[in-house]
Amino acid sequence: MKLIFATQNQHKRDEVQALLGNSIQILSLADLQFHQELPETHDTLEENALEKAVFISNKFSMDCFSEDTGLEIAALNGAPGVYSARYAGEGKNPEDNIQLVFQQMNEKENRSAQFRTVVCLLLKNEPHFFEGMVAGTITKEQTGVSGFGYDPIFIPEGYDRTFAAMTKEEKNEISHRRRAIDKMSAFLKKQAD
């Protein structure tokens, strides 16, 4: 089975391919020589994931999936949420985003947060949604150098270090994306039976 993963991020593609194994071949947009920005015009992760999947499925006439991920901070009423990538502006600068979160969290005692990923699989033009979440807390300073986005300021529940202070393998074992992809993988295996 071949599926397009509607992402420009080759690291995400490789991570997901490793999670899905050899029974499903994942094509990234780079594999298809498609380098345009994908549309994300909605206010929910679900709607953005669906919009990207439909856009790419229509363009290439193939089954595909996409994902949208947000960091949801309790003390900020769920922000940055769906706007996580462009929280501090359209430049999508991770450092600016982190500094804005720190600024807004300055006087807040409740530092609980969660990463949430929604995957939309478009199979024969029918959407199927899979969600993965990881609860945790927002730190008061950045630690770690691996990962991307908000990883240096998020400590997952049950751990004493940020995602950015973990190896890629450690993070992948417990990540929100992993949990959503595992659900999609189980669904695809059922379809193949």
The three state secondary structure string of 125-178 is: CEEEEEEEEEEEEECCCCCCCCCCCCHHHEEECCCCCCHHHCCHHHHHHHCHHH
Which member of 63, 68, 96, 182 is catalytic? 68
Half-sphere exposure of 106 (CA within 13 A, CB side): 4
- Tell me which amino acid residue 121 is: L
Tell me what pLDDT residue 123 has: 95
Confirm whether 68 is a catalytic residue: yes
CA distances from 192 to 15, 79, 87, 109 (A): 22, 38, 40, 48
Those residues whose C-beta lies under 8 Å from the C-beta of residue 87, and which sit 6 or more positions away, are 79, 80, 97, 100, 101
Alpha helix ranges (H) inside the chain:
10-20, 45-60, 94-105, 168-174, 176-192
What pTM value is reported for the model? 0.92
Tell me what pLDDT residue 108 has: 94
Tell me what pLDDT residue 55 has: 95
Contact 30, 52 (CB under 8 A): no
Phi-psi region of 3 (alpha: psi -120 to 50; beta: other; left: phi over 0): beta
**Is residue 59 exposed (0-12), middle (13-18) or buried (19+ Cβ within 10 Å)?**
middle
Tell me what pLDDT residue 103 has: 97
Gap between the Cα atoms of 57 and 120, Å rounded: 12
Q: Report residue 26 as tokens.
A: 């994942």
The pLDDT profile of the chain, 193 residues, written as one tens digit per residue, is: 899 999 887 778 887 888 888 888 999 999 999 998 888 889 999 999 999 999 999 999 999 999 999 999 999 999 999 999 899 998 889 999 999 999 999 989 999 999 999 999 999 999 999 999 999 999 999 999 987 899 999 999 999 999 999 998 899 899 999 999 999 999 998 887 7
